[in-house]
Chains A and B, each alone.
Chain A
Amino acid sequence: MSNEQDVRSMGGLRKYLPVTFLTFLIATIAIAGIPPFAGFFSKDEILMHVYEHSPIMWVLAVIGSMMTSFYMFRLLFLTFSGSFRGTHEQKHHLHESPASMTIPLIVLAILSAAGGFIGIPEALGGHNWLSNFMSPLYDLSRRVRPESFGETHLSHSTEYMLMGVSVGAALIALVIAFVLYVSRKSVPAPEGERLPALQNLVYNKYYIDELYNNLIVKPLMLLGDFLYGVFEFFVIDLIVNGVGKAVQAFSGVVRRLQTGAIGFYIFAMVIGIVVLLLFNFRGFIL
């Protein structure tokens, strides 16, 4: 795709990049948590423990995983289905990646398809080999907080219910994405077009980058300019150079005593002698 990363300029790539499409499809199903791919098992395990801990958190987590399913299928459909939306130039250059890239993709796809079988929960007739394998690692933690690292106490029927809800949510999200991006062929608005407020907020990542920029980066830069441009030279160096200037000024005064004019020296000596005499004989005078 000549370094293009914008899905708005893609579409219909299934024909041109079949291996990439197939591996991407497998990865999407896995990450969306649809059985029997790997994502389902790991997600199920996490959701189950969360439910045991707090059902509200579980609801939030299911909503989150539903969104994952939606944006992944949205990405899949926008990229690979429909017709190509890029330039003729780009279309001309479309080609499948070399083997050095497709082989790793295939390996990873196999793992994300079959990787889940190392941890089949007991509710589905497995022995959760992975959980038993990892168990010794948590020994110490379990001794400190037994309630957080124990086995699950949920009945199998509750587990089935939880699985059903999460899989159902993922499938619903899939369907919504399908309707929006395959049936209705909608494409995200091009750059610069005015977006509804909520979309705009989300598109700009809740303005968190801008928030950081304004709260931390800019003040830091301003402070740096101030410290270097003002404080360093007009406060500290002024004092440092002031010491030097004070010495010079003082030496300017003292220098007048060393003019080499003998008359002035004798005059100063006489005054000094008079002062000394007065000091010595102050008892007489007062």
Chain B
Amino acid sequence: MITIFLIAFPIVAGLITLLLKGETVKRFAFLLSLVELVATLYAVSQFNPAGINPALAFSYPWIESLGISFSGNIDGISLLLVILTTLLVPVIILSTFGRSYANPSAFYALILFMEAGLVGVFTATDAFLFYLFWEAALIPVYFLAGVWGGERRIAVTFKFFIYTIFGSLFMLLAMTYLYFQTPGTHSSSLEAFYALDLTTGTQAWLFWALFIAFAIKMPVFPFHTWQPDTYAESPTPATMLLAGIMLKMGIYGVIRWLLPVVPAGVAQWGTTAIILSVIGIVYGSIIAIRQRDIKRILAYSSFAHVGLMSAGVFSLSTEGMQGAVVQMLAHGVNVVGLFFIAEIIGRRINTRELAQMGGITQNAPSLTVFFMILLLGSVALPLTNGFVGEFLLLYGVFTFNPWYAAVAGLTIILSAVYMLRLFQGTMFGEQNELTAGMSDLTLTEKIALFPLAFMVFWIGMYPAPFLKLTEPAVQNLLQQVVQQ
């Protein structure tokens, strides 16, 4: 029941938000998203990582004659991503308190609808339900970017939408095919898909159909060109939703709907997927070094980081998979924090050009401290959250092939180069006319950044609770892959 509540409540909350008017709607939306977070914490308290959790599963007949059911479940991996979603949404809403958006009730309703779609994606165990949520999560962000975005929003959002829909159609094709392969009156449940016995040739094309859909969403090289433009042009809350949570849909899709469903396809093409991911790490990092717009630096850095997660998942090792799951949480926290910092700077001095900044630290010491914490998390300094994930991921890739790990390991150096360049360019150096008028963080901004900074240290210093939460689920999944 609690799982259904987690999916349904943001929809209800969004509808209520739509009915309200004026600026108070943001406070209301914030409170509602906190209720969702509390509900998630309740689910965590009910969760037993080692065993099965009937209390968190639901299954109702939906289109019975077709074998399609309304069913979902929460295992460790799902739970971690639900925690990520429901933790970040309140932070994202809180981050908007410092500015006002036109038509606020629609703006906040869309964020809440998006939350429902995301929780749905992370919990659905029926292919058609999964597909439904997958597309449903895309629509709110399309409107957020298309209506509240920057100057080039129409062209950019159009490309983003068409690109991702294009990928999703491959997934729909693959899932429909899988559905017709199930015995009897057919079923679209995850177990039915797992039980299929398909030839290697069939699995190979199914692999590509599913991989393209997930690879576009992450994005993996070379399916990424929608991403930097969309991140830069979207209003920052939408960028946070995209980078913080939505890209995890792609990785989650691979973990849940690709690896165990077409293991022979993975055996055949997994290496190609890792190579593309590793190329993306280096390619994205090198481009990030040369970017001039803060949001674009973060966009390319995010693209590089997701490449490592993808490579870790396809390494099919416990460490790689565990690393990817922890890194999804860590990256979500870091990237949302960093985009918030970029937004704060941009809001204060009306530019995102690195060349026009410098010396911000003189007027804004608290901003500098939070920026530094999140930055260190992002470059994976030991004792920060990024280190735990990155270490496990590199270890996982290393067990697969040391050479790939060596190339992927360049991320350690390159990410330090572009992030420290970003930090130097904005925070240090001489003040100029623009940055001289910079003011420090407001109380609300500090409250929004605090939980993120806290998570950077918590996951970095004591990752055991998160690893324990997900380990049985990861083991189950890998066993599923190996069995076939």
Spell out A's residues near B (CB within 8 Å): 220-221, 223-225, 227-228, 232, 236-237, 239-240, 243-244
Contact = CB atoms under 8 A, between A and B. Distances in A.
Nearest to B289: A224
Contacts of A228: 287, 290-291
Contacts of A232: 225, 287
Contacts of B159: 240, 244
Contacts of A227: 283, 286-287
Interface string B282-321: 0100110111000000000000000000000000000000
Contact of A236 (B162, B225, B289, B290): B225
Nearest to B228: A232
A224 B290 contact: yes
8 contacts: A220-B289, A221-B289, A224-B287, A227-B283, A227-B286, A227-B287, A236-B225, A243-B166
Contact of B286 (A220, A236, A240, A243): A220
Nearest to A241: B159
B174 to A, nearest CB: 19
A244 B161 CA distance: 12
B217 to A, nearest CB: 15
Secondary structure class of chain A's binding surface, majority of residues: helix
Chain B interface category by residue count: 10 to 19
B290 A221 contact: yes
Nearest to B418: A224
Interface in B132-162: 159, 162
Nearest to B414: A220
Contacts of B289: 220-221, 224
B225 A240 contact: yes
Given A236-B224, A237-B225, A243-B166, 11 more contacts: A220-B286, A220-B289, A223-B286, A224-B289, A227-B283, A227-B287, A228-B290, A228-B291, A236-B222, A240-B159, A244-B159
B371 to A, nearest CB: 23
Nearest to B224: A236
B290 A240 contact: no
Nearest to A224: B290
B58 interface: no
A243 B216 CA distance: 15
B163 interface: yes
Nearest to B290: A224
B454 to A, nearest CB: 34
A193 B483 CA distance: 75
Nearest to B226: A240
Contacts of A223: 286
